[in-house]
Structure 1
């Protein structure tokens, strides 16, 4: 099941420099402000991420990237 709109994407965790989301299928996504990147978990519970560098380092761009990755992964 893919997400229909970005507003459907709610953080599972939010800290000072880290925000995490979980897709409907269970994959975790992590934005680290210090890295200027969004990580897509490589396997359930592995805590190993495939990192995607952002063009702009802010939460809005991170959320858009996570939304895009979830919808690519779900289809």
Structure 2
């Protein structure tokens, strides 16, 4: 199931430098501000991520990337 709007993304964890989201299918996505990247969990529960470097390290860019990855992966 795809997500229709970026505003539908609700963090499951929100720390000082890390924000995590979970897709409707259960895949976790992790934004690390220091790394300037968004990680997509390779296998559910593995905590091993495939990283995508962002052009700009801010939360709005991270949310856009997570939105795109969820819709590509689950559509």
TM-score for the superposition, normalised by structure 2: 0.99
| Structure 1 unaligned regions, length at least 5 | none
Alignment coverage as a number of residue pairs: 75
Q: Distance in 2 between matches of 1:58 and 1:14?
A: 14
Report deviation, 1:30. 0.0
Aligned pairs for 1:1-75 (under 5 A) are 1-75=1-75
Report deviation, 1:55. 0.4
| Structure 2 unaligned regions, length at least 5 | none
Report deviation, 1:38. 0.1
Tell me the secondary structure at the aligned position of residue 44 of structure 1: coil
Detail structure 1 runs of 4+ shifted over 6 Å in the superposition: none
Report deviation, 1:26. 0.1
TM-score for the superposition, normalised by structure 1: 0.99
Cα displacement string for residues 1-50 of structure 1 (whole angstroms, at most 9, x for unaligned residues): 10000000000000000000000000000000010000000001000000
